[in-house]
Amino acid sequence: MRKRLLVIGLITTFIVGLSAIGCYSLMRRHLLLFPDGRGIEAKEAWEVLGVTFYKSGEKILVVNTKDLSAHVPPFSFAKGDIRRRLSYYAALARQSTGDAGGDLFSLVSKRIAGIPLLVILVLFMLVPAAGLFVRKRLRREATPKIRRKTTTKSKKTRTEPLTPRLIKQEDVVRFFLELYRMQVGAPADASGKIESLEKEHHGPGNLYQLSVEIRDKWKSRRMTISPIGDTSASRSQCFYVIYDTHMVVKIPPVPIRDYSDYIRRIQYEAGVVKGPFTAQVSHTQPVGHLEQGPSDWRRSLPDTGAG
């Protein structure tokens, strides 16, 4: 009886180990899903300013977040994420069996198709092992249990204030790569890359080359960027950018959800400083009044919810 239990335990452990390795290989990657059923498995993926970046090998590629139907993070056990991941791999399994013409060897050799088979084998082996374990427990004489006093240490909970996320210079460069991808009319899943050209640049700031692949050909352009002021999580970050024109990119410490509230905060912060007057115009008026027109125009635009 003991030998039988030992053999069953070893076989079960081996199969459970294979299943765990297979499940780990599927769950450890990001899964970017498109509405047409296509998907991209990526080792790393992150979203910045409405653009999703993902790492494929040594390359960093981009895709518009609006073009994705879902982004399933690794080891996410939420009900919706598990359903999306299983649906995607089930579709791949059906496609692989159709291409193989019903060949059983091809089905088993596929990584995705092999996972359900391993799960069935694990359940098949666990049932008799569980039955033997229950029978052994029932035959064992009841023995009184000694309760041990355990001391539980009270966990000290600290409520730390939420620190706004600091945007890196590389994140802004990736945003302009996505902007360039849309300008040249590249598809959503077009490959892109960023190259630093510090050896060719002798002026202030950092020089980058943005490249996008269109119909097996690479299109490239350059941009210059440099930070302005000190980096602080409590203040907006500013970057000086040369891209088609000279501009200053201002990024608030927290995403903008309400543009009207953002304008009110700016007016409140500027209230302690008296606005200078422009003597060059026909009549004297404060600078804040000159900015009222663009602010009213922006409020009339639909709120996209983007940060």
As a whole number of angstroms, the distance between CA 80 and CA 71 comes to 11
CB atoms within 10 A of CB 273: 7
Reference 35, options 76, 84, 78; nearest CA is: 84
Identify whether the C-beta of residue 77 lies closer than 8 Å to the C-beta of residue 86.
no
Q: Angle at which helices 259-270 and 292-299 pack, to 10 degrees?
A: 160
Reference 240, options 256, 253, 228, 258; nearest CA is: 228
CA 280, 281, 283, 288 dihedral sign is negative
For residue 123, the SS3 value is helix
- Give 64's strand partners: 51
- Give 44's strand partners: 55
One digit per residue, the tens of pLDDT, for the chain of length 307 reads 566 667 777 777 777 777 677 677 777 788 888 888 888 888 888 888 888 888 877 788 888 888 888 888 888 878 788 888 888 878 877 776 665 444 443 444 444 444 554 565 566 666 666 666 666 666 665 444 545 544 444 444 444 444 566 778 899 999 999 999 999 999 888 899 999 988 877 778 899 999 999 988 999 999 999 998 876 666 778 899 999 999 998 888 777 777 787 788 777 766 654 455 454 544 555 555 555 666 666 666 565 544 4
As a whole number of angstroms, the distance between CA 27 and CA 24 comes to 5
109-144 residue pLDDT tens: 444 444 554 565 566 666 666 666 666 666 665 444
Tokens 């300008």 found at: 183
- pTM of the entire predicted model: 0.36
For residue 148, the SS3 value is coil
Confidence (pLDDT) at 102: 42
92-104 residue pLDDT tens: 777 766 654 444 4
CB atoms within 10 A of CB 295: 15
